[in-house]
Amino acid sequence: MTTLMSPDQLEAALRAIGAEQYHDKHPFHRRLHAGDLTKDQVRAWALNRYCYQRTIPLKDAAILARMDQVALRRVWRQRIIDHDGDAGDGAEGGLARWLALTDGLGLDRDYVTSMRGALPAARFACEAYVNFVQRRSLLEAIASSLTELFSPGIIRDRVEGMLANYDFVTEDILIYFGHRLDQAPRDADFALDHVTRNATTPWDQQACLDALRFKCGMLWAQLDALYLAYVEPGMIPPGAWRPGEAVSE
């Protein structure tokens, strides 16, 4: 039933999953980039996506902790450095740059980092990601990072669309995404090469495809939760952020 693919076939199968299930297709993102959201809806997005941003170095540390080869660890640790930055300058690193966005949108920083107002579904999705990289094989954990193959396109759409369509969005609060345009392709190239060279059985190849499907699903689920709560029909769960809350302006 399952046959062995060549590395090129496996890459094509991975890219086909992105073409179908990556969250650039989600209606929330289409609205975000087209300028169809209110400032409060953009705040809800930035607030909740903090949960995901916070998870990235945690899941990368969990992956690092499973790598028994020095050569692999030397490469992978850069991801953690990219997101955590250096101690000397609190403004460095992806997580700090994300907080520049939530600051710029007027959200209280302590409120954001406490995740008190985050949607439970967003937190659960992020938790599932950490579980995944801890419990599945190292190969599957690495394969789950391959959504970065698809991120340059969505980042360009986002930066261009948000700058053009929202008067409250400026280049300096979108600084996170500029850095990701360099980092993500470097990381994705490494991971793709690793996966296509190491997934050498039909079973491993299918597991890598499933890992990417899982990852697309966890990204999608976060936007689903945002959409229901803050776009349509606007059902905010008990305890989650309500427009006006924790905002200074």
Give residues in contact with its own copies (CB under 8 A): 20-21, 27, 119-121, 123-125, 127-128, 131, 213-214, 216-218, 220-221, 224-225, 227-229, 232-233, 235, 237-239
CA distance 53 to 44: 14
* Shortest Cβ 217–its own copies spacing (Å): 4
Q: Which is nearer to its own copies, 169 or 231 (CB)?
A: 231
Nearest to 218 by CA among 6, 49, 86, 46: 49
* Shortest Cβ 40–its own copies spacing (Å): 19
| Residues 40-43: contacts with CB under 8 Å, at least 24 apart | 40/230, 40/243, 40/244, 41/230, 41/231, 42/105, 42/162, 42/166, 42/168, 42/169, 43/102, 43/105, 43/106, 43/107, 43/241, 43/243, 43/247
* Shortest Cβ 99–its own copies spacing (Å): 24
CA dihedral of residues 34, 35, 41, 46 (deg, nearest 10): 70
* Shortest Cβ 119–its own copies spacing (Å): 8
* 167 contacts: CB under 8 Å, gap ≥ 6: none
* Shortest Cβ 142–its own copies spacing (Å): 20
Q: Which is nearer to its own copies, 103 or 127 (CB)?
A: 127
* Alpha-carbon distance values, 42 to 29, 48, 170, 217 (Å): 10, 10, 13, 21
Q: Which is nearer to its own copies, 76 or 150 (CB)?
A: 150
